[in-house]
Amino acid sequence: MKNPDFSNLKAVYVNCTLKKSPETSHTDLLMEVSKQIMTKEHVTIDSIRLVDHEVASGVYPDMREHHWDKDEWPELFKRIIKADILIVGTPIWLGEKSSIAQKLIERLYAMSGLMNDKGQYLFYGKAGGCIITGNEDGVKHCAMGILYSLQHVGYSIPPQADCGWIGEIGPGPSYGDTEWKEKKLENPVGFDSNFTNRNTTFMTYNLLHLASMLKANKGYPQYGNSRRDWDEGERWEFENPEYR
């Protein structure tokens, strides 16, 4: 059986750590596992650490039109929308995704009213997933919220579209740490987790498979899901009393 060719795909990783560069991000270390698979499959990769950019809060495409002096989101969005795959990475804080991850979701939502050339919402035909790290409970909870939000704005979610690593509850080393309390650790924390490595691999390949199928079929057919067609009069069934 011939291996699939993913070389025509592009993936963008948005790390929603609270740490500005060049401080080490544990979430980025786990995202690197997925990136290595993408590189092996000759996928074009783009990476964004959102906190490094001046992204305004709000739910409009350009918040400079709403009293913000600066907003780098419009330029960042050009990079995100070019990608066939979006992978959101976030640490867990108080059992939730980071505030930066929530800001990303809000700004994606701001663009969800834009349409492609079929009259569908702009994110149709693109695949989404997420990567979570933390030292407290919440991997599945954070993934649930992120993946729901991505599908709501139009991204397609494959099986096993999330992965994560979680340390013991309470203070302790984080993913990728090589020392703790000034003591060297034998191996980087979490790197040998079969569960994390398996789920990260499955997530990455499922995203590749889904994105490849969507791209080969030029996204979704516009039958029944075109905002343009709806606005141009395809609503008659719902307006006809016969169907009430």
Write the pLDDT tens digit of every residue in 195-221. 999 999 999 999 999 999 999 999 999
Digit-coded pLDDT (tens) for 104-120: 999 999 998 899 999 99
Task: List the beta bridge partners of residue 92.
Answer: 97
One-letter amino acid at 165 equals: W
For residue 51, give the nearest of 11, 91, 78 by alpha carbon. 91
**Cα dist. 78→44, 70, 176 in Å?**
15, 17, 31
Residue 83 has pLDDT above 90, yes or no: yes
Q: Percent of the chain scored above 70 by pLDDT?
A: 95
Predicted local distance difference test score (pLDDT) of residue 233: 63
238 pLDDT tier (thresholds 50, 70, 90)? very low
Q: Is the CATH code 3.40.50.300 the one for domain 10-243?
A: no
Residue 236 has pLDDT above 70, yes or no: no
Report domain extents, the chain: 10-243
Sequence-distant (≥ 6) Cβ neighbours of residue 189 within 8 angstroms: 167, 173, 174, 175, 176, 177, 178, 180
Question: What is the distance, to the nearest Å, from the Cα of residue 151 to the centroid of all Cα atoms in its chain?
Answer: 10
Q: pTM (2 decimals)? A: 0.92
